[in-house]
A and B are shown apart, each in its own frame.
Chain A
Amino acid sequence: MSSQEAWIREPLVLGDKSYHDISNDIARPIEGKANKQWWIAFTIAVIAMLWGLGCIMYTIGVGIGTWGLNNTVQWAWDITNFVWWVGIGHAGTLISAVLLLFRQKWRMAINRSAEAMTIFAVICAALFPGIHMGRIWMAYWVLPLPNAFGSLWINFNSPLLWDVFAIGTYFSVSLVFWYIGLIPDFATIRDRAARASKPIRVAIYGIMSFGWSGNARAWHRFEEISLVLAGLATPLVLSVHTIVSMDFATSVIPGWHTTIFPPYFVAGAIFSGFAMVLTLMLVMRKVVNLEEYITINHIELMNKIIMLTGSIVGVAYITELFMSWYSGVEYEQYAFINRATGPYWWAYAAMMTCNVVSPQLFWSKKLRRNITFTFILSIFVNIGMWFERFVIIVTSLHRDYLPSSWSMFYPSWVDIGIFVGTLGIFFTFFLLYARTFPVLPIAEVKSILKSTGSQYKK
């Protein structure tokens, strides 16, 4: 039975919708034709993707020397981009798993697209360690096979290998979680197509829906598996970025060797993930007319999470500074003084402004509910979080123990090309997804209609 919700809570579905209206609204972008703006965006994304793929080919053909790396800064944009994309990939499973366990009904409007974003972001992320291997055709060496088929095995003590398992598990489990939620909605699209006599669409969505029929036993299992997968995915989300942070934290480089990294990285990942969700959702709700499902209330709730995680990140930055001073280790202290006042001060300043100062503006309710402001701020956070990873990686490396080997990092056109290329891959996938997949979970929105729909709240 639909549980009655307190009237003081704002409705999550506006516009007095019926069940049929929900199916119509969400199926419309799939059944209709793409508009001009979509084609323009898609063309730009595909060009960026092709450019990026070209740069990747060039890297594989010629070698890592095409990047701006040098002996001192041997990790730079590639790992920055890797961590940035993995971080973005954290919001999807957080929204679908953690918010499911907390029974947050507002997750229904955004979980499908956030999970899609997760999957595309993890694809972009996984690309970077792959091409950084140099010889990508040897990538299978990360699997537990005897090295070069002799007797020496891969090193299970290494955080870099933990990463392989963490990212692999995260990607595949997110994909399965996402797809299990999609099956009933594909069935809705399939049956709508059958009623409108569209044989090709029936065939395609018939295969994608696995013959889902919506019988009571299947729904019973559906609810069970959603809950248990959420329970499994919640520690998984936390573990993935924890392990990514251990790539740095288990080393002995000043600036990396800190115990605060796991919680700090996880908070940062959620922070950047929500920013990217907002960037995409604010555009999408307008383009596919879903303002009645992704309401100002949803935007405000996401902004509150941005404010919270942004504050956690801010506390982590300040704790790092304090601990470097308190440790009494000169190298540690120098790493942080150099970070803030050295040649990369501008990157540090960008990071501090975008990540620490700007989310604090969300204490104002007016700004939290302002769409234009939220959009601009979400872009700020995306940029700030990219700079955070750049600051952590490059400023810790560029001045090591030996002043004669101090150096700077300058990205080559290939570095830039590959980064732009991953943005292209991400948006190409996302735009295709928005045209062919139900961007909101149809079944789940229907299930919360009676408790949160505007007509039931009058």
Chain B
Amino acid sequence: MSTKEIHGLFGDEEVLLTSAKKLVSKGVHVKDVFSPFPIHGIDPVIGVPPTRLHIAGFIYGIVGLCLSLFMMWFTLIMDWPMNIGGKPNFSLLENLPAFVPIAFEMTVFCAAHGMAVTYLIRNTTYPGKKNWNPDLRTTDDKFLIQINLDENSVSGEEIEAILKETGAEEITQK
């Protein structure tokens, strides 16, 4: 790999946040931030776009609702109507109260599982995937700013100076 990267390691998420703000204000493009837990307020600073996961979840839910209603309409109304306790067996609408529980469960089922699968795909996390956090301590108690030098017009020395000035504990170049 010829791409050069600078890693700034921090011991506190608030120090990292001020450092990231400073870097961005100087025109540095931050590639990514690695942390042991979500740092609130980092997303707009380093340009993480708002996720559309909830929209996907809504669509999966609607799909689940339609599938379940179709299933119940096809089996009990269309294919083989049965007289069960005198319940109306000739129209979906009139039999709907008895179909509400399963329609609800299937909506939740499809929304939750569809979203979980989308989440794993978007994060590129799956069994057997190798982790790519540059420093193993970032899942414990350290916070890391990753800057790709090829993507930046600001020089490496300048970035290092800003990182040092804003309280980075360790700065490494790869």
Binding site for B on A (CB under 8 A): 1-2, 18-20, 23, 144, 151-159, 161-162, 165-166, 168-169, 172-173, 176-177, 180, 183-184, 187-188, 190-192, 194-195, 206-225, 228-229, 232-233, 235-236, 239, 243, 246, 442-444, 446-447
Contact: B32 with A228, CB < 8 Å?
A: no
Q: Is the CB of B57 within 8 A of A228?
A: yes
Q: Which 8 A-B pairs have the closest CB atoms?
A: A211-B129, A19-B141, A153-B75, A210-B125, A219-B38, A213-B133, A191-B136, A20-B141
B154 adjacent to chain A (CB < 8 Å): no
**Shortest distance in angstroms between B30's beta carbon and chain A's nearest beta carbon?**
9
CB-CB < 8 A to B82: which residues of A? 152, 155
Closest Cβ of chain A to B20, distance in Å, is 10
List the A side residues contacting B46 at CB < 8 Å: 216
Q: How far is the CA of A190 from the CA of B127 in the complex (A)?
A: 13
B90 within 8 A of A: no
**In whole angstroms, what is the CA distance A236 to B98 when docked?**
17
Residues on B lying within 8 angstroms of A by beta carbon are 14, 17, 32-43, 46, 48, 50-51, 53-54, 57, 61, 71-72, 75-76, 79-80, 82, 84-85, 87, 95, 98-99, 101-102, 104-106, 108-109, 111-113, 115-116, 119-120, 122-133, 136-141
- A1 contacts B35, C-beta separation under 8 Å: no
Q: How many angstroms between the C-alpha atoms of A169 and B68 in the bound complex?
A: 13
Of the candidates A158, A159, A192, A233, which one forms a contact with B140 in the assembled complex, judged by CB atoms under 8 Å apart?
A192
Contacts of B35 in A (CB 8 A): 214, 216, 219
Q: Within 8 Å CB of B40, what residues of A?
A: 1-2
With A223-B38, A443-B36, A447-B37 already in contact, the answer to whether A184 and B116 are too (CB < 8 A) is: no
The one of A23, A159, A165, A218 that contacts B106, using a Cβ cutoff of 8 Å: A165
Q: Is the CB of A210 within 8 A of B129?
A: yes
- Beta-carbon contact of B51 and A224 below 8 Å: yes
Contacts A/B (CB < 8 Å), 23 sampled: A153-B75, A155-B84, A156-B75, A156-B98, A156-B99, A158-B84, A176-B113, A184-B36, A184-B139, A187-B131, A191-B133, A192-B139, A195-B136, A213-B131, A213-B133, A214-B34, A214-B139, A215-B33, A222-B38, A225-B115, A228-B53, A228-B115, A232-B112
Q: A153-B76, A169-B105 are in contact. Are A211 and B130 (CB under 8 A)?
A: yes
- Contact in complex: B101, A239 (CB < 8 Å): yes
Other-chain residue from B53, B71, B85, B126 in contact with A157 (beta carbon distance below 8 A): B85
> Closest CB of chain B to A187's CB: distance in Å?
5
Q: How far is the CA of A443 from the CA of B50 in the complex (A)?
A: 21
The residue that B109 contacts in the complex, of A144, A161, A173, A177, with Cβ under 8 A, is A173
Cα A233 to Cα B43 with chains together (Å): 27
Across the interface, do B139 and A187 meet the contact criterion of CB distance under 8 Å? yes
A211 to chain B, nearest CB (A): 3
**A207 with B128: CB separation less than 8 A:** yes
Alpha-carbon distance A166/B107, docked complex (angstroms) = 11
Chain A residues, CB < 8 A from B54? 224, 228
Interchain CB contact under 8 A, B126 and A211: yes
Set of chain A residues within 8 Å of B72, measured between Cβ atoms: 156
Task: Check if A211 sits within 8 Å of B141, measured CB to CB.
Answer: no
CB within 8 A of A173: which of B53, B113, B119, B129?
Answer: B113
Whether A447 and B53, one on each chain, are in contact in the complex, defined by CB atoms closer than 8 angstroms, is no
Contact between chains at A165 and B75 (CB < 8 Å): no
| A interface, over-half SS | helix
B109 A188 Cβ-Cβ under 8 A: no
Contacts A228-B53, A239-B101: A215 and B140 contacting too (C-beta < 8 A)? no
Are the C-beta atoms of B125 and A221 separated by less than 8 Å?
Answer: no
B38 partner, pick from A192, A194, A208, A447, beta carbons under 8 A: A447
- In the bound assembly, the distance between CA atoms of A212 and B125 in angstroms comes to 6
Q: How far is the CA of A162 from the CA of B141 in the complex (A)?
A: 46
Contact partner of B122 (CB less than 8 A), chosen from A2, A19, A221, is A221
* Chain B neighbourhood of A212, CB < 8 A: 123, 125, 131, 139
- Out of A1, A215, A239, name the residue touching B32 (CB < 8 Å): A215
A218 to B, closest residue via Cβ:
B123
B109 contacts A169, CB within 8 Å?
A: yes
CB-CB under 8 A for A166 and B140, given A190-B131, A210-B126: no
User: Contact: A176 with B116, CB < 8 Å?
Assistant: yes
Q: Is the CB–CB distance between A18 and B75 below 8 Å?
A: no
- The answer to whether A1 and B17 touch across the interface, beta carbons within 8 angstroms, is yes
Other-chain residue from A20, A173, A216 in contact with B112 (beta carbon distance below 8 A): A173
Q: A217 and B123 in contact (CB under 8 A), knowing A225-B53, A232-B112, A239-B104?
A: yes
In-complex Cβ contact of B75 among A154, A159, A162, A210 (8 A): A154
A194 surroundings in chain B (CB, below 8 A): 136
Known A153-B76, A154-B75; judge A217-B84 contact (CB<8 A).
no
Instruction: Select one of A23, A152, A176, A239 contacting B105, CB under 8 A.
Output: A239
What A residues does B116 contact at CB under 8 A? 176, 180, 225, 229
Q: How far is the CA of A447 from the CA of B14 in the complex (A)?
A: 12
Assembled-state Cα–Cα distance A210/B22 (Å): 33
What CA separation (Å) do A374 and B86 show in the bound complex?
50
Residues of A close to B102: CB separation below 8 A: 156, 161-162, 165
Question: A191 to B140, Cβ gap below 8 A?
Answer: yes
Whether the Cβ atoms of A162 and B101 lie closer than 8 Å is yes
Residues on B with C-beta less than 8 A from A177 are 112
Closest approach, in angstroms, between the C-beta of B161 and any C-beta of chain A? 23
